A and B are shown apart, each in its own frame.
Chain A
Amino acid sequence: QITLKESGPTLVKPTQTLTLTCTFSGFSLSTHNMGVAWIRQPPGKALEYLAIIYWDDDKLFSPSLKSRLTITKDTSKNQVVLTMTNMDPVDTGTYYCAHRGVTYGLDVWGQGTTVTVSS
């Protein structure tokens, strides 16, 4: 059974850097075709695809956020870390990590973690 859980601060100040950790179980990110993606959702708004890291360390980023995002994996700890620099109140929302497997869809999601950007 695959599970994922997001963790990180619930409140960050404008201009600070956000660091979120996705801790997962039930699969290995060193296995061919596996990936972990980050998606966010501002309150009352649509989902936004942020980034994904694959088993071979290939990475894709939303072009509009690429300059602010870093994504890394630690296969020994079963963790993926997303950092987003220069946080702004518009970055407030729920941040999800999700598993991308052989279906190529995001087939298992974490529960999400809420991040508020405010001074």
Chain B
Amino acid sequence: QSVLTQPPSVSGAPGQRVTISCTGSSSNIGAGFDVHWYQQLPGRAPKLLIYGNTNRPSGVPDRFSGSKSGTSASLAITGLQAEDEADYYCQSHDSSLDGSGVFGGGTKVTVL
């Protein structure tokens, strides 16, 4: 049971918009800890997609965007492409866990 809750899967047709939620609590996201998002392609190491809730590292397409409100965060992918099919993880820290980092359970994005 992950501290941060994500839907196991989302899907969409090419060109569509999909969103992935990351629900936390008052000891992590709601406590003001930043949320980061990672993309993990099959058989590959994770890659930082969004940092500090809303920021994209250099080289990440602007089709990816992040938001945060209250005890939740979201990742949106607009103009879905075949190469976006991957697992996506949110990550934050939790004050009830001595400040340790925590990940969501991951969301599999399928491009129909």
A interface, CB within 8 angstroms of B: 37, 39, 46-49, 52, 60-63, 66, 96, 98, 103-112
Bin the interface of chain B by size: 20 to 34
A-B contact count (CB 8 A): 71
Contact B52 A104 (CB under 8 A): yes
Contact B36 A105 (CB under 8 A): yes
Contact A106 B91 (CB under 8 A): yes
Contact A104 B36 (CB under 8 A): yes
Q: Which residue of B lies closest to A63 (CB)?
A: B97
Contact B101 A46 (CB under 8 A): no
- Given A96-B45, A105-B52, A106-B48, A46:B99 Cβ within 8 A: no
Contact A47 B106 (CB under 8 A): yes
* Cα A14 to Cα B64 with chains together (Å): 42
Q: Tell me, yes or no, whether B84 is within 8 Å of chain A by CB.
A: no
Residues of B within 8 A of A111 (CB): 45
Q: Which residue of A lies closest to B51 (CB)?
A: A105
Residues of A within 8 A of B40 (CB): 47
58-109 of chain B: CB within 8 A of chain A: 89, 91, 97-106
Contact A49 B47 (CB under 8 A): no
Residues of B within 8 A of A103 (CB): 36, 48, 51-52, 55, 57
Contact B100 A107 (CB under 8 A): no
A-B contact pairs, 29 of them (CB 8 A): A37-B101, A39-B46, A46-B2, A46-B103, A47-B40, A47-B103, A48-B103, A49-B101, A60-B98, A60-B99, A62-B100, A63-B97, A63-B98, A96-B45, A103-B48, A103-B51, A103-B52, A103-B55, A104-B34, A104-B51, A104-B52, A105-B36, A105-B51, A105-B52, A105-B91, A106-B36, A106-B46, A106-B48, A109-B46
Chain B nearest CB: distance from A93 CB in Å?
13
* Cα A107 to Cα B60 with chains together (Å): 12
Contact A109 B45 (CB under 8 A): yes
* Cα A47 to Cα B105 with chains together (Å): 7
- Given A63-B97, A63-B100, A106:B45 Cβ within 8 A: no
